[in-house]
């Protein structure tokens, strides 16, 4: 078994607002790893900390946020210890990020050639004719027709799907081994979305790049990912292979998310998870999901569950997944 390319251990990222009086634990002690060429789906309701996790890894947190603890090891090096200057050399070269809104990543004032060539120029030292050829190849690899002509265009001259593919070309330009894609297809219509996902899969097969794929769409996770991590209120509540989690989810939250997925041909009404996600600055005691959980017991409302193994490479943070003996032991102590 290969050693992980990315290893996140007990990562904590906090936002401090209202002059320091309110601390939001957007990421609250999460651990996961990713091997080369693997795709991890990061799922969970809005506000559970997915984007904050990604921004922590690439070192692009907003000023109100800080990493309060833990490690982010990329090929063995802890990124939390790197200076902003060192992170600039790592971003684009080792990790690249694709955001939901391509217009937020593209600069309207520069043409496509300038923007796609920049990482290859800066990180790989490619110049002149070789750089032009590299940009053409990159545009071809993300299926931009007539790349020699299109690279003279500006972002506003392209469709939304093309712009997102250009962002993909920029992400690939520095030859990274990890791409973090934060809801890259949310703004695309379903046909273009399907094409973009197929493109990402093809690129992954050709380059062996690992991908963290953030999405609300579990259908995309089933199509794209090898493993998935389910986040709730800043914590990973279940993590394992897509096959295991879709087959027999351990955590009631994973079950509820899967239950709220539309199924082809089903006449059943869609299941909605009752209640709202909690305020991250004021979490309920015990398991944060217990007020919304159909299977919660008194124990769940008083004690926070630990992360326990459910199978090979499969963990859950739920009292139901705990071995019965440890539950009895905890009851006895409570």
Ligand X SMILES: Nc1ncnc2c1ncn2[C@@H]1O[C@H](COP(=O)(O)OP(=O)(O)OP(=O)(O)O)[C@@H](O)[C@H]1O
Question: Site residues (CB under 6 A) for ligand X?
Answer: 15, 17, 24, 26, 44, 46-52, 62, 64, 280
Q: Which is nearer to Mg ion, 51 or 115 (CB)?
A: 51
Least distance CB 215 / Mg ion (angstroms): 10
How many positions of this chain bind Mg ion (CB under 5 A)? 1
Stretch that binds Mg ion, among 43-51, 170-178, 196-204, 273-281 (CB under 5 A): 43-51
Task: Sort 28 into a burial class: Cβ within 10 Å, 0-12 / 13-18 / 19+.
Answer: buried
Decide which of Mg ion, ligand X, none touches 52; Cβ closer than 5 to 8 Å per partner kind.
Answer: ligand X
**Residue 250 is a binding residue for Mg ion (CB under 5 A):** no
Return the H-helix or E-strand segment holding 170: helix 160-173
Q: Which of 13, 51, 53, 250: binder of Mg ion (CB under 5 A)?
A: 51
Task: Check if the beta carbon of residue 188 is closer than 8 Å to that of residue 200.
Answer: no
Task: Check if the beta carbon of residue 163 is closer than 8 Å to that of residue 103.
Answer: yes
Least distance CB 244 / ligand X (angstroms): 23
Least distance CB 220 / ligand X (angstroms): 14
Decide which of ligand X, Mg ion, none touches 248; Cβ closer than 5 to 8 Å per partner kind.
Answer: none
Which residue has 């007020």 as its token pair? Answer: 291
Q: Which is nearer to ligand X, 70 or 174 (CB)?
A: 70
Least distance CB 13 / ligand X (angstroms): 8
Task: Check if the beta carbon of residue 83 is closer than 8 Å to that of residue 116.
Answer: no
Q: Which is nearer to ligand X, 50 or 227 (CB)?
A: 50
Q: Determine the Cα–Cα distance for residues 43 and 311; give it in Å rounded to an integer.
A: 20
Decide which of ligand X, Mg ion, none touches 46; Cβ closer than 5 to 8 Å per partner kind.
Answer: ligand X
For residue 294, how many C-alpha atoms fall within 13 Å in the half-sphere facing its CB?
12
Decide which of Mg ion, ligand X, none touches 63; Cβ closer than 5 to 8 Å per partner kind.
Answer: none
Decide which of ligand X, Mg ion, none touches 288; Cβ closer than 5 to 8 Å per partner kind.
Answer: none
Task: Check if the beta carbon of residue 187 is closer than 8 Å to that of residue 160.
Answer: yes
Least distance CB 24 / ligand X (angstroms): 5
Torsion angles phi and psi, residue 42, rounded to 5: -110, 115
Task: Sort 216 into a burial class: Cβ within 10 Å, 0-12 / 13-18 / 19+.
Answer: middle
Q: What is each CA distance from 298 to 172, 280, 334, in whole angstroms?
A: 50, 22, 11
Q: Which is nearer to ligand X, 129 or 282 (CB)?
A: 282
Q: Which is nearer to ligand X, 17 or 146 (CB)?
A: 17
Task: Check if the beta carbon of residue 294 is closer than 8 Å to that of residue 287.
Answer: no
Decide which of Mg ion, ligand X, none touches 49; Cβ closer than 5 to 8 Å per partner kind.
Answer: ligand X
Task: Check if the beta carbon of residue 237 is closer than 8 Å to that of residue 230.
Answer: yes
Least distance CB 287 / Mg ion (angstroms): 23
Would you state the structure tokens that stand for residue 140, as one six-digit string?
């071809």
Stretch that binds Mg ion, among 2-10, 51-59, 217-225, 296-304 (CB under 5 A): 51-59
Q: Which is nearer to ligand X, 173 or 280 (CB)?
A: 280
Would you state the structure tokens that stand for residue 271, as one six-digit string?
């299941």
301-320 residues near Mg ion, rule: CB under 5 A: none
Q: Which is nearer to ligand X, 56 or 141 (CB)?
A: 56
Q: Determine the Cα–Cα distance for residues 292 and 175; give it in Å rounded to an integer.
A: 44
Which neighbouring-strand residues pair with 203? Answer: none
Stretch that binds Mg ion, among 6-14, 47-55, 71-79, 193-201 (CB under 5 A): 47-55
Residues that bind Mg ion (CB under 5 A): 51
């Amino acid at each position: 078994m290969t050693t992980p390319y990315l290893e996140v251990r007990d990562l904590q990222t906090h936002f401090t607002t209202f002059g320091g009086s309110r601390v939001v634990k957007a990421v609250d002690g999460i651990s996961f790893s990713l091997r080369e060429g693997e795709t991890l789906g990061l799922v969970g309701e809005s506000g559970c900390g997915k984007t904050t996790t990604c921004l922590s890894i690439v070192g692009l947190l907003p000023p109100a946020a800080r990493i309060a603890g833990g490690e982010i090891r990329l090929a063995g090096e802890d990124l939390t210890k790197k200076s902003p200057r060192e992170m600039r050399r790592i971003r684009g070269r080792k990790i690249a990020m694709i955001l939901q809104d391509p217009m937020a990543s593209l600069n309207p004032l520069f043409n496509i050639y300038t923007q796609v060539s920049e990482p290859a120029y800066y990180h790989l030292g490619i110049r002149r004719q070789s750089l032009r050829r590299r940009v053409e190849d990159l545009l071809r690899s993300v299926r931009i027709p007539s790349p020699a002509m299109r690279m003279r265009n500006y972002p506003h001259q392209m469709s939304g799907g093309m712009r997102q593919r250009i962002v993909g070309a920029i992400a690939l330009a520095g030859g990274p081994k990890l791409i973090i894609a934060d809801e890259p297809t949310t703004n695309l219509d379903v046909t273009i979305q399907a094409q973009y996902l197929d493109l990402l899969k093809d690129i992954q097969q050709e380059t062996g790049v690992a991908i963290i794929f953030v999405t609300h769409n579990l259908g995309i996770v089933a199509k794209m990912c090898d493993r998935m991590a389910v986040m709730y209120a800043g914590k990973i509540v279940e993590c394992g292979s897509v096959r295991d989690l879709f087959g027999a989810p351990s955590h009631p939250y994973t079950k509820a998310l899967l239950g709220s997925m539309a199924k082809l041909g089903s006449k059943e009404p869609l299941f909605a998870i009752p209640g709202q996600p909690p305020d991250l600055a004021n979490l309920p005691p015990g398991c944060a999901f217990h007020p919304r959980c159909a299977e919660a017991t008194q124990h769940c409302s008083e004690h926070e569950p630990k992360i326990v193994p459910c199978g090979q490479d499969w963990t859950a943070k739920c009292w139901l997944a705990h071995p019965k003996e440890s539950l009895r032991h905890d009851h006895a102590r409570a």
